[in-house]
Structures are given as C-alpha cells and as structure tokens.
Amino acid sequence: MIHPFLWLSWLAEQLHITAFFEETLHIHESDHILYGWLVALLLLLVAFFASRRKDMVPTGIQNLMEACIEILEGAIEETMGEKGRAYFPLIATFALFILISNLMGLIPGFYPSTANINTDVALALTVFVMTHVVGIKEHGLRYVKHFMGPILWLAPFMFILEVIGHLARPLSLSLRLFGNMWGHEIILMIFLLLMPYFVPSVMMALGFVVALIQTYVFTLLAMAYIAGSLDEAH
C-alpha cells in the first residue's frame, strides 16, 4: 500500500493541485518523494528482519513489531469490529508510514515527507477512495443508502449534504496532518536560529509527542471512515 501513496504524491505535484500552498506558504521542497521512498525502504527492511526469524519468545526488532501489531489489531477491532480485521494491512501501512515519516523530521538534516502537502493529499485521497471501494464491495449498489438519510422525502437534500461531507474528508485529513507537521518544522527552525541549544531540544521532545498524536488521529479517522462504510445504512 506504500507505493500508491508515493505515486499519488507525485501526481498531485505534477497536476499543481497544491499550487495555492506553494505560492502562499512558499513551499517549494520536492524532497518529499525521496524521503517517502526512504521511509518505504526502511519499513521493508524492518519487515524483513522482523520476520526472518520467528522465535516463540520474541526479542529485539521482532518483539517491537509484534507489540506494534498487537496495538493496531486492538485499535482496529475496537473501532471497526470483526470485519475490520480484513483491512489490517491498509490501516497498519497508514500508521507506520505516517509515524516513521513524522519521526524522521526529528533527525537533524532529514525532512518529514508528511510536512509536504503533496504527501498528505496522497494519503487523504487513498483513505477517501478506499472508503468508497470498501463500501461498494461490502454492500454493492445498496451502498448509496448511506447518502440518503432516514427519511425518504429528505433524501435529495441529505444526498447533497452527505456528498459535501465526504468530499470535505480528504481536505480535513490532509490539512490537519500538513498543518501540524509543517508548523512544527517552522517553529523548530525559528528556535534553532534564536536559541540554538536548550529550547530546540524541548521542541524536539514536543515534536515526538506531536508525531505520535498526528499518527493516531489520522489512523483513527481512517478507521472510522472505513468502519462507517462497512455498517449497514439505516
């Protein structure tokens, strides 16, 4: 699932979807593709070494990855129910890709790909598309009932409201992640220029918390949206 994120990020840049942000916020970095592939390669290496030896009593990287898997499985089961287990690879990829990308910004000289709007738009569009793909796969043409509301004569009005609400989801997801990660990078840069010792260390510690929170929020919303498409319309 990592490859579509990176391809959509490249496509968003080529189509100038984010030209407004680039002009108004002076964002011209194109390194997000490179760092996105770096995160993908890192995750592949971690997966390889974690699964190379499957000990009954896990240690090291296997222990770390099994703990991550247990946390994600618990969150999916609690949020999405039993049907959500089928979408564990998708949700886990979101969580791990965003988390590693966010944390990469704490390493001096590295740039978090999630601090670029192109990457965040790609992630949000993936959630948007998969939400409706899952809904159609689960319910077929009956999925349209999700947009009709409970009262028949209000269906046309509810349909318009639901469409607007669903279209707002990728905008909300991408801007939330972008605003927090890009804002942290700017604040850290300012403090590095003004007070290059103690204060940046504090900001980096806060950045670690921000990285975890933004990963949790994005992943939780992705699970909630997909879970909504799995439910029967009433």
> Over 80: is that where the pLDDT of 233 sits?
no
pLDDT digits (tens, 9 = 90+) for 68-84: 888 898 888 888 888 88
Residue 216 has pLDDT above 70, yes or no: yes
**Residue predicted with more confidence, 17 or 202:** 202
Confidence of residue 156 (pLDDT cuts 50, 70, 90): confident
Whether the per-residue pLDDT at 124 is higher than 90: the answer is: yes
What is the percentage of the chain residues whose pLDDT exceeds 70? Answer: 77
Higher per-residue confidence, 143 vs 1:
143
pLDDT at 176 over 70: yes
HEC string of the chain equals: CHHHHHHHHHHHHHCCCCHHHHHHCCCCCCCHHHHHHHHHHHHHHHHHHHHHCCCCCCCHHHHHHHHHHHHHHHHHHHHHCHHHHHHHHHHHHHHHHHHHHHHHCCCCCCCCHHHCHHHHHHHHHHHHHHHHHHHHHHHHHHHHHHHCCCCHHHHHHHHHHHHHHHHHHHHHHHHHHHHHHHHHHHHHHHHHHHCCCHHHHHHHHHHHHHHHHHHHHHHHHHHHHHHHHHCCCC
> How many domains in the chain?
1
User: Confidence class of residue 100 from pLDDT cuts 50, 70 and 90?
Assistant: very high
Domain of 11 in residue numbering reads as: 2-230
User: What per-residue confidence (pLDDT) applies to 21?
Assistant: 45
Q: pTM score, two decimals? A: 0.79
